[in-house]
Amino acid sequence: MTEASKPLAIALENCAKTFADGTKALEPLDFAIEAGETVVFLGPSGCGKTTTLRIIAGLEEPDAGGRVLFDGEDVTHLPIEQRNVGMVFQSYALFPNMTVAGNIGYGLRIRKTPDAAVKARVAEMLGMMQITKLADRRIDQLSGGQRQRVALARAIAVRPRALLLDEPLTALDAKLRDTLRLDIDKLLRSLGITAIYVTHDQAEAMALGDRIVVMEHGRVAQIGKPREIYQRPATRFVAEFIGTMNRLTGTTKDGVFACSAGSLPWAGAPATATEILFRPEDIRVAESGEVTGLQGTVAAAFFLGDRTRLFVEVGEARPLVIESTARRDFSHGEAVRLAIDPRGLLVL
């Protein structure tokens, strides 16, 4: 890849955003993005993730006192057209008055690049995104997936210092999302570019992010590597927003957690734990003869091919979710004994 510009380090200092109508979209945020890193901002709609991206892009200015630094240089008041960042929008924002090639070459033409160089770069981008055949099509002749490829090619063509992606896959159907997610991952790794990716889809965040910033109500709930966020969520919100979380309520006494499903020996139990959380992969149906103090009844069982997803009633508000790889059928109402791996237990 012939990407000349070196990756950009981005820092946000005390960046808050209050909109004209008084809505507080973002609480003061301090955050540094390392050069070449892919950071995913993840959260439900209205959590402030898009506002953060738009502040980094230069489409919004932070409230007074906030600063945006690109490689240490203050760009807070620099409009987006002077920041040299590539941006991909959820609605693609492709220009209907230009062909595919015209769209991809636009940023270069604005920079007064010689025609021959524009042509060569456009051809390179078309090849990279595997859309060479579409070069002369109009935008209204493209499907959603094709449009997103054009949008990516257009953003990268100008060799931006950073690539900003605002829910780029949300408008696509599930199968296409998977394909494009893989392509984007490959692209980001091969470019080595600093990338900021906004999504509400936790699977996308886990797959693409070097680090994930989980946001809630304009605040950062947790920052960490995907594995940390998943296995060691900092708050109840993070735990339940990412992946599936099981919950048991009860009391702890002498290293044993007791609940309506039975009792669970847990050597490292904090004395005050009244609620424990764990992932579906940390609980399994016990083998016959195995010693365990927990049991429940099967409320529903879905055979998925490689595994069976069980919903087991244990007298809690919600049934436990168990991913079982056992080679057997489960029937509704069947009594099952359960084993939990204590290493997966969380108290929040």
Interaction site with another protein (CB under 8 A): 57, 59, 79-82, 84-87, 89, 91, 93-97, 106-107, 110-111, 129-134, 138, 140-146, 149, 154-155, 158, 164, 176
Question: Measured from the CB atom, is 109 or 318 closer to another protein?
Answer: 109
Smallest distance, another protein to C-beta of residue 94, A: 7
Tell me the closest approach of the beta carbon of residue 118 to another protein, in angstroms. 12
Q: What's the number of CA atoms in the CB half-sphere (13 Å) around residue 23?
A: 9
Residue 134 or 221 with smaller CB distance to another protein? 134
State the Cα–Cα distance between residues 146 and 148, nearest whole angstrom: 5
Cα gap 105→41, rounded to integer Å:
29
Nearer to another protein, 22 or 268 (CB): 22
Q: Least CB distance from residue 192 to another protein, whole Å?
A: 20
- Going through the chain in order, the beta strands assigned E by DSSP cover 10-18, 24-33, 38-42, 67-70, 73-74, 85-88, 162-166, 194-199, 211-216, 219-224, 246-253, 256-259, 262-265, 275-278, 283-285, 294-303, 308-313, 320-324, 335-340
Which residue, 158 or 212, is less far from another protein as judged by CB? 158
Question: In which region does residue 65 sit, left (phi positive, over 0), alpha (psi from -120 to 50) or beta (all else)?
Answer: left
Rounded to the nearest whole angstrom, what is the least distance from the CB of residue 173 to another protein in the complex? 9
Least distance in angstroms from the C-beta of 145 to another protein: 6
305 Cβ neighbours under 8 A, 6+ residues apart: none
The residue among 53 and 340 lying less far from another protein, judged by its C-beta, is 53
Q: Do the Cβ atoms of 68 and 14 come closer than 8 Å?
A: no
Closest to another protein by CB, 80 vs 321, is 80
**Close Cβ partners of 23 (under 8 Å, ≥ 6 residues apart):** none
**Nearest-approach distance from CB 2 to another protein, in angstroms:** 19
> Which is nearer to another protein, 144 or 265 (by Cβ)?
144
List CB contacts of 14: < 8 A, sequence separation 6 or more: 28, 29, 30, 62, 65, 66, 67
CB of 143 to another protein, least distance (A): 5
